[in-house]
Amino acid sequence: MPKHSPSLRLQGLGVITVATALIACGTLPGTAPAPAPLKAATGAPLQNCVALATQFRFDQTQVTSATPEAAGALKLGANPVPAHCLVKGLMHPRKGSDGRDYAIGFEMRLPQAWNGRFYYQGNGGLDGTVQPAQGALGGGPLTGALLQGFAVISSDAGHTGAQTPFFGLEPQARLDYGYQAVAKLTPMAKGLIAAAYGKRPDRSYIGGCSNGGRHAMVAAARLGDQYDGYLVGAPGYRLPNAALAQLWGAQQWATVSTPGATIPHPMNPSATLADLGSGFTPKERQLLSSAVLEQCDALDGARDGMVQATQACQARFNLQKDVPTCQGERNGQCLTVAQKQVVAAVFSGAKTATGQPIYASFPYDTGVSGANWATWKFVNALALDPLAVGAVFSVPPGRVDPLKEDVSTRWPLFSATDDSFRESGLSLMTPPGQDNPVNLGALRARGAKMVLFHGVSDAVFSAEDTRRWIERLDQAQDGKAADFARYFPVPGMNHCSGGPAADQFDLLTPLVQWVEQGVAPQAVPASVRGAGHTGSANAELPKDWSASRTRPLCAYPTVARYKGSGSMEDAASFTCS
């Protein structure tokens, strides 16, 4: 991980860092030992449920209901959730400056058999909905915090779906969405737990994917003393940058798409969108995926239809040479010169007219063939991102036409403030100090931990952005980042799930083990969602893969490498090195 660490060459493995070799030991040369693990949580039985509706008191909080839920009344995938108490309520009800009624809506699910832990469930997108407080994890319905016995809270981040995205026109609603809802809900939730069980949580965790991952990363920077473990999935920690990059990308795709071609608008049946996908069709995306696979599949020692050595692949793959150039009409077996120019530009990352980077580059990976990849690049870039850019991130807010927007002019509005919006869009959305995360040293000092994961083929939030962040963290922490933060890229996976990938895994259990037992995660089991899966099977898996294929997710910078023998469908045949 550390760029400045000395390196060595091991036969068959290429160049690795000394720090990498010592990661599994939990120490790095010249550093103080990692702090001892925090005391493990102990459980307690639920003492109160229905009474919480009338007896619980907390400033600016209304509990609207508290009802027992029988075992199996709620399911996560095919898994029945144990008996628990469902508490619903709201915090800080108010009349907004726009005349609308606002509040931070929430629900908490309190298990009858509680494990002594609290989990804050960060939700995705623009929030606005109180999702069931299951503590559902990225990677499919393998498990969730509620199933594991955590008390779990979920919220709408301070606005309702009917107010989305117009909440961005109300300054306090913006702030609640950005970070203040989490800060307000956290102490209340701990107080509610104390009222229900007779004691406060021993250990507290926060996690989510996409915007939920952003919530967790922002909490690490702003609420470092409130949580012991941070589970950060596909973090849109630079969400304004990524959204503007989406607009920029849409304008690039438009130059090679079919003029006048349209598709139905996903949220407005009476409207249509430009068919950007006609500029890079499913067959053409599969062509690119196959070319990446041809060049990079064997870099991890196995030709198995998966590219584990992501960084080595970026050096090996060459779009211009490795993908055929059309000499005549497009037929799905080649890309035109213009298409290659657009693909190269989008993967290199959005830039202003003067060449200033707006967002990160994207790694070439096999998941470019995934339907989720296309949805984000071609549909959401027109249907969702313009709303967030104009209404939530800009000062002053204003309407955005994605295919005509001057991104160079829009970019400064993310940093602007005025008399109404006293905090900029970038400030309220991004973690303080994300460019040089020295402030996270406090997490290491007290024994808190972070686990990050990201689909390498995420089309909206770049895995390269997360990789660069973990590198910056390591530099800012003088090579000590592996003591308290580890990053697990998921090859082939799209945004939070999907794509040709082993996208089902549990990173919460390893995070708890790291926080409370001192066992640092290095190789985490992951499996595919093949035919017959008890939840929802992944239709994008190659037909020659076993329906039960497994792989280890490896802590960056290690890579899952084939041992040279054993089934290529079994994680036991691979090692993280």
| Residue entry with tokens 């470092």 | 224
Identify the sign of the CA torsion 175, 110, 443, 503: negative
Catalytic hit among 458, 465, 474, 503 = 458
Whether residue 5 lies in the annotated active site: no
What string of DSSP letters covers 349-403? --B-TT--B-S------GGGGSHHHHIIIIIIHHHTHHHHIIIIISSS-----TT
Interhelix angle 181-197/211-222, rounded to 10 degrees, is 80
**Do 338 and 443 form a contact (C-beta atoms < 8 A)?**
no
Task: Report how far residue 429's alpha carbon sits from residue 272's, in angstroms, rounded to the nearest whole number.
Answer: 30
Task: Report how far residue 440's alpha carbon sits from residue 476's, in angstroms, rounded to the nearest whole number.
Answer: 9
Whether residue 474 lies in the annotated active site: no
CA atoms within 13 A on the CB side of 248: 29
Residues in CB range of 503: below 8 A, 6 or more apart? 139, 140, 455, 490, 492, 493, 497, 526, 528, 529, 538
Task: Report how far residue 117's alpha carbon sits from residue 115's, in angstroms, rounded to the nearest whole number.
Answer: 6
Task: Give the Å distances, CA to CA, from 352 to 373, 448, 566.
Answer: 23, 38, 50
Identify the sign of the CA torsion 171, 175, 178, 182: negative
Our measurement of the distance from residue 240's CA atom to the centroid of its chain's CA atoms, rounded to an integer in Å, reads 15
| Residue entry with tokens 């009344």 | 73
Residues in CB range of 99: below 8 A, 6 or more apart? none
Task: Report how far residue 378's alpha carbon sits from residue 536's, in angstroms, rounded to the nearest whole number.
Answer: 25
**Do 557 and 24 form a contact (C-beta atoms < 8 A)?**
no
Catalytic hit among 495, 497, 506, 533 = 495
What string of DSSP letters covers 65-113? EEEEE-TTSSEETTEEPPPEEEEEEEEEEEE-TTS-EEEEEEEEEEESE
Question: Can you give the three-state secondary structure of 187-251, one letter per residue?
Answer: HHHHHHHHHHHCCCCCEEEEEEECHHHHHHHHHHHHCCCCCCEEEEECCCCCHHHHHHHHHHHHH
| Cα 155–Cα 157–Cα 163 angle in degrees, nearest 5 | 115
Q: Which of 554, 576, 254, 244 is nearest to 429 (CA)?
A: 244
Task: Report how far residue 396's alpha carbon sits from residue 572's, in angstroms, rounded to the nearest whole number.
Answer: 55
Tokens of 106: 């929430």
Classified as helix, coil or strand, 530 is coil
Q: Bin 478: left if φ > 0, else alpha if -120 < ψ < 50, else beta.
A: left
Task: Give the Å distances, CA to CA, from 218 to 235, 437, 440, 456, 565.
Answer: 10, 11, 11, 22, 43
Task: Report how far residue 221's alpha carbon sits from residue 218's, in angstroms, rounded to the nearest whole number.
Answer: 5
Catalytic hit among 5, 154, 204, 210 = 210
Identify the sign of the CA torsion 458, 460, 464, 465: negative
Task: Report how far residue 53's alpha carbon sits from residue 415's, in angstroms, rounded to the nearest whole number.
Answer: 42
Whether residue 4 lies in the annotated active site: no
Active site residues: 210, 458, 495
